[in-house]
Each structure stands twice: as structure tokens, then as C-alpha cells.
Structure 1
Amino acid sequence: MDVAPRLLLITEDRALRDDVALIAATVGAALESRPRWEAVVPREWAVLMCGTDRLPPRSWLGRGTLLLGITGEAQSQSQSQSQCEEQQLWKLAAEQPGLQPVPLPAGEAWLARHLGARVLDRNPGRVLAVAGVFGGVGASTVAYLLAAEQAVRGASVLLVDADPAPGAGLAGLLGAEEGRSGDRNRRVRSLRRGGGEAGLGEALGWAELAALEGELASPQLAAALPIHDGFHVLSGAPGVEVRRRMLEPVVRSARRVFDTVVVDVGRDSDAVSLVREHLDQLLLVTPCTARGAATARQLGESETGVPLRLVANGASHAGWSPQELAVATDLPLAGDIPEQRWLRREDALDAAYELLRSRRGAAFIGALLEVLDLEEQVRHE
């Protein structure tokens, strides 16, 4: 059973405690109030807060603690009293760098949004990036298959096309499939157990996201993105500037509401750097060849700080088994996908999808999910 994220408020001000407790209840978080900072363990709390009567020890500064104060004019207060309290709040914040002042009730809406975001961030979805060592190795198809199989198993999934090249990656794959089987893609084939079909609706892509202002709200993002084969999709060639500005906010927002976010980065290492802080895994798709091994090793040496695994795709060349590939690159092997003609083609999602439904196809994608610790990554309500 999931434990609700906890919020800690250090104060002896009963009115402040009651106000914050009401705000916490609206975002589904448990609030605990204490009169002292003694015995507080920071990592146990989603948010640390204090009143102006209980400032944290100096050793705690820099931990993102919120400094709360009731500064609004109440019936029992004069305007001068209210202004004096607000000035005191900002004065204390200025003297204690690292504390973020929040005047109440003026800041109630901001505090509710902040607490809500932190509560969601305490139980984030997994983020997986899939890259190809060079073009045509099947990275986009592997990303698609992982997303489709996760959706079949009941997970909520977003597949993000972060390949900036026009007509490449998922944009090219989905576009080609639309041309061959237009009616199929105009409907949602929901693969969740007991699912049916529903209208796809108007697609939201990179161009539409780039026109939005302000922070991306997670529920609205999930509701607006189109569904394809049971998972949500954000596609359309983003272009360099749009991707640089929007990719990190999209992933940050999406991991709050989806069980799994799969990012197809193509061959672009810049896309990996943009979302590095959110990545749980980076998959390198490569053939079992000397060229594949050399490129994978080079990429592995440059991508530090991210758990990285190989996916060997296709038939082994002489002297290059998947195990030998792992040894040569000094990277762990996540999976070995046997030679399949549909993985060597740019326009074969239909065939890939049908093979995924076969016992053989589901077995090796399922094994890959297990290695990546995604086979049970389903957010429990």
C-alpha cells in the first residue's frame, strides 16, 4: 500500500497550523506539525515548512524550507499590524538565505500548487531514453515496442519523440503507418485489459506545446495528448529550438502523471543532456558489429551519470555475439533481440505490433522490461 507523502511544519502558531493543514488536505498530503526542529530527518519529508516563530538551525539552510507567515489583514488586525507582520516575514527571509517566504493568505494558491507538485514528485514515474548508435538500428521501433508492451500490462505510458530530424524517428514511423492504414490510426486501439476503442481527437504535438505559456500542468498534458496503440504519444519533428526549450518541462511534467515515460532521442546526445536529471535508464540500441561496438563504447564514455545498458539488435556478425559486444563496450547487456526483418525497416510498426502480440515477440520485450525493472511499474491508485 502506498504511503501518502508527508509534509512537516515546525511552529507553535495554531492559526498557521490550521491554515496549512487545510491546504495540505486539498492536495492529498499528510501534514505533521511539531513545535521544535529536534530529531527531524529531512529525507523523510516531501516538504519542510516553518513559521516565523521557529526558524531552522543554520545547518538546515539551503534545504528549500518554506518560511510561512500569516500577514493578511484579519478582523482583529489593523492594516498597520498586517503590514508590520509582512515586513517581518521578508526581513527574516533576507537574514536567513535559503528560506523561501510565503505570506498567507495571499500565497495560498501558490502554496497549494507547490505542495501538489512536490507530492506528485515523491512518487514519480520512470523515465527511459532510447538511443541508436547510428541510423537504421531500430531504436525508434524498440522505444515503440517497450511503450506498447507496458500499456498492455496496464501501465500508463507516454512515448516522446525527441528526434529533431524531419521525418525521422517516431514521426516518420507513425506517419508512414498513417499513410498505409489511415482508418486504424484515427481510432484508439486501447490494449488495456477490458479496453475498447475511442476517438483519437485532435492531436497535440510539439508545435502546439511550443505555443503554450506557463508551466505544463500534468493532468492537462495527459488529457490533451493523443493515444496510439494504448499509450500517449508526443510526436512531430520538434526542431532544435523547440526541443531545447520544451523537452525538459515535458518530461518533468509527464513523470508526475505517467507510470513510464519513454523518450526516443534518435542519435542526438543533446536530447539526453536536456533530460539527464530525470533519467532512470538510457538504452543504446546497436547491432552486433565492430562499428556498433566502437560507437557504443564512445557514447558510453561520454554519457556519465546515467545508468546505461545495451540492446543488441539483429543477427550477430562473425566474432560479435551479444556477450562479446558487452565485453568490448564495458556496458551491461539489457537484451538481445534476434534478427527480425521488421526491425530493419523504417515503416514497419504494423508488423512490429503484430509480432509483439505473438508469444515469441512478447517474450523478448517482456524480458527487456524485467531487466529494466519496468515489468511491474504501474502506479497504484
Structure 2
Amino acid sequence: MTQQTWTMEARRQPVVLAGGSQRVRDLVARACASAGVAPVFVPGLDEGLALNPVVLLVGPEQAAGGTTGQRDVIVVGMTEDENSVWGTAANLASSRVVILPQGAGWLAEYLGRRLGSATSGSVVGFLGAAGGCGVSTFAYWCARQIAGAGKSTVLVDGHPLNGGLDLALGIEDRPGVRWHDLSDIRGTLNPEQLASALPSDGRLSVLSHAARAGTVGGGPGGAMPSSGAVVDAARGAFDVTVIDLGNGPAARFLGAVCDHVVLLVPSRPRSVAAAGGVLRARNSVPMTVVLRGPVQEGLDAWLVADLMGRPGPLPFLPFVRGARQAEAAGRMVSFVVPRSVRKVVRSVTSAIELLE
């Protein structure tokens, strides 16, 4: 089959396959043809990442490393290479594996849906440079703002071991599916079915882990085997998917499918240093950095922006009295957000929408 080769002049590509045998390349080319897209084949990860693809396919022989922050990474290989395929996926920012030839139909369907702009919503991750800085609360405020502006929105809980975001919101008794109900999904999930099955708070849907102990599932690092299929379905069902990524190992898997990341940085020297590492690790994904108050040791929104090489001043989220207590008591839905906070929430959500 005719294959496209990489050149220095190439611009961003929709699908790139790094490595893989000739048989894998032929099957990938056929799947891409079914999806109406032309793949680019390159010998290794470095060349693939240089093209900044929307979807990066990786052969099982590729060494781990260098893909942190890549939005979609799928490891592909033949049936006889299945063990090495799963081993490579475990070492990359990937929760998806395709075994060929039987998985070729799924790959064609996925690429067609993922690259079809008419049915592809945005996925925005919220991440903290340090634990306990209020990421869940801020993600909820932003998701509520987006939903209030008329966009269909789902808030996704990325903390498998944190007791359930629905408990913090106070909607744990509302009927609807949670992550553990989706743990057995293999292949694809119907977007309309997902949307109709989720509990909601007004126009905002919520996908939470279970509030009850003993119902958490997951694979390596707490990642659900179905995570990729669930986020794919969310893209198709909602205009915006907001993921509270958390700080645990599971954030690696969900963070890999985000189109944009909002990084909340407490105004403390160690947190600012940690944020610099996050920016370097996720440099292939657009990122909005928000400074979290109270300001300490002179680290204001201008100075932190300068230290991180960002244009200043950074959006500043002030300390909100009572917010932590409201989250702990399951009163986030009814908590009255101060005007100063509503202003920064509008600023951040506007920036996200402009970058879609």
C-alpha cells in the first residue's frame, strides 16, 4: 500500500504511526482510509512527536518516554505481539491498546469519531501543583460556569480513591451511573446513553467515583480499563468535558486525553517549583496557569508568571473562606461564590473557550 513519509516541512498531522511492522502499517493505513484520513508513518517517537499529531499511534517496539502530555496515544500491534503491546502501553501515557487485525474496525470507528469536528467536544483537565489546593472546587465552579453559559457540560471525577466527587457536591443520593458501573466496558460506549445515565445538577452532568468504600475498580495506577472509551463518549455527548484530574497516578491516563489543562498553583515556593516541572512535562498541551491565594513570600501574580515564563499577571484565585468546609460537608452545590471568585472563573472559562 502507498504510505506517506515524514518530511521537515510537514505541519501538524491528524494521525501519525511511530514504528510498527509493515503489516501493522498496512492495517493502520486501511483503518485510516475507512475513517477518511491519511496517516503519516515515521520510524520513531521523536519524529512522531515533532509533528504534534492529534492521535499518535505507537508500535510495540518503541521505547517508553517523551510522550507525557500527548493528547491521544494508542499502542498498536499484531496478535502475536500482544504481550509487548500491553507492556509498552503500561510505560506510556496511554490507556488504549489496539490488537490487529481484530481491532482494525474499532480503530477506524474511533479515528472517524475523534477527528470528526461535528461530534468532538473539548476535554479540559484541572490539575494542582500541590495537594489540597482546592482543584476539585475550582473545577466544579468552572464547569458550572460553562454549563450556565449554555454549553452541555460534564464534570468527571479523576480521584478513584478520594471518596467520590458526588459526595462533596452533595448529590451522592441522586440516581445515575458512577465509574464502577462502567468498569466492564470494552470497545466503545454510546454517547447518548452515557449522557442520559449520568446524575446531574441542573444543566451540569457529573461522572463520579463511588462515595462508598469497596466499589473502586481500576488497573495500573488506579486507571479504569474503560477510561478511554468513557472519555471518547463524553466528547461525543457534551460540548465540554471538565476532568478533575487529581494528583495520583490515575491523572497520567486521563491527562493524556485532555485538549487543555488548567493548572492551579498555590503561592508557595515549593508549589511554584513543582508547577515548573508540570509545565515542562506537559508542554505539548495548551495550559492556563492560575495562582492560588493567599499570597506568601512575595509570590504575587506577576512574579510567579515571570518565574514560570508566562505572560503576567496570572489569573489569581483568592482564598475563599468556607469553601473547604463546604466541600467537606457536601455543600458545594449550595455554596455562595464571592464576586471576586466569579470574576476569575469567568476569565478562565473564557480563555478555555477561546482556545477550543
- The answer to whether the Cα contact below 8 Å between 1:300 and 1:331 also exists between their aligned partners in 2 is no
The C-alpha deviation readout for 1:237-265, integer Å capped at 9, x for no partner, is 55441634122221111111201000111
**Fraction of identical pairs, as percent:** 29
Is 1:136 matched up with 2:144?
Answer: no
Of 65, 73, 81, 2:33 maps to 65
Tell me, in whole angstroms, the C-alpha distance in 2 between the residues paired with 1:302 and 1:114.
Answer: 27
Is 1:299 matched up with 2:253?
Answer: no
> SS of the counterpart of 1:304?
coil
Q: What is the deviation of 1:348? A: 6.0
Give the aligned partner of residue 124 of structure 1. Answer: 120
Map residues 266-305 of structure 1 onto 2, 5 A cutoff. 266-268=246-248, 270-276=250-256, 278-305=257-284
Per the normalisation by structure 1, the TM-score is 0.58
Give the aligned partner of residue 338 of structure 1. Answer: 318
Map residues 79-228 of structure 1 onto 2, 5 A cutoff. 117=113, 120-167=116-163, 171=164, 173-178=165-170, 200=174, 202-228=175-201
> SS of the counterpart of 1:372?
helix
Tell me, in whole angstroms, the C-alpha distance in 2 between the residues paired with 1:292 and 1:342.
Answer: 22
Q: What is the deviation of 1:219? A: 0.8
> SS of the counterpart of 2:237?
coil
Q: What is the deviation of 1:62? A: 6.8
Structure 2 letter corresponding to 1:369:
T
Tell me, in whole angstroms, the C-alpha distance in 2 between the residues paired with 1:236 and 1:322.
Answer: 34
Q: What is the deviation of 1:227? A: 0.6
Aligned length: 256
Map residues 316-335 of structure 1 onto 2, 5 A cutoff. 316-331=295-310, 335=315
Give the aligned partner of residue 310 of structure 1. Answer: 289
Consecutive unaligned residues of structure 2, counting only runs of 5 or more, are 1-10, 15-25, 37-99, 211-215
Consecutive unaligned residues of structure 1, counting only runs of 5 or more, are 1-42, 47-57, 69-99, 102-108, 187-199
The C-alpha deviation readout for 1:100-157, integer Å capped at 9, x for no partner, is 99xxxxxxx99x9789836855442111000111211000111111111111111110
Tell me, in whole angstroms, the C-alpha distance in 1 between the residues paired with 2:350 and 2:218.
Answer: 34
Tell me, in whole angstroms, the C-alpha distance in 2 between the residues paired with 1:124 and 1:233.
Answer: 19
The C-alpha deviation readout for 1:76-103, integer Å capped at 9, x for no partner, is xxxxxxxxxxxxxxxxxxxxxxxx99xx
- The answer to whether the Cα contact below 8 Å between 1:309 and 1:331 also exists between their aligned partners in 2 is no
Give the aligned partner of residue 242 of structure 2. Answer: 262
- The answer to whether the Cα contact below 8 Å between 1:161 and 1:235 also exists between their aligned partners in 2 is yes
- The answer to whether the Cα contact below 8 Å between 2:291 and 2:315 also exists between their aligned partners in 1 is yes
Runs of 4+ in 1 over 3 A off after TM superposition: 112-123, 237-240, 272-275, 331-334, 342-346, 348-354, 358-361
Taking a change above 3 Å as real, the CA distance of residues 332 and 252 of structure 1, as seen in their structure-2 partners, is: farther
Taking a change above 3 Å as real, the CA distance of residues 273 and 113 of structure 1, as seen in their structure-2 partners, is: closer
Q: What is the deviation of 1:307? A: 1.4
Tell me, in whole angstroms, the C-alpha distance in 2 between the residues paired with 1:359 and 1:274.
Answer: 31
- The answer to whether the Cα contact below 8 Å between 2:223 and 2:253 also exists between their aligned partners in 1 is no
Q: What is the deviation of 1:269? A: 5.5
Q: What is the deviation of 1:163? A: 1.3
Structure 2 letter corresponding to 1:66:
S
Q: What is the deviation of 1:162? A: 1.1
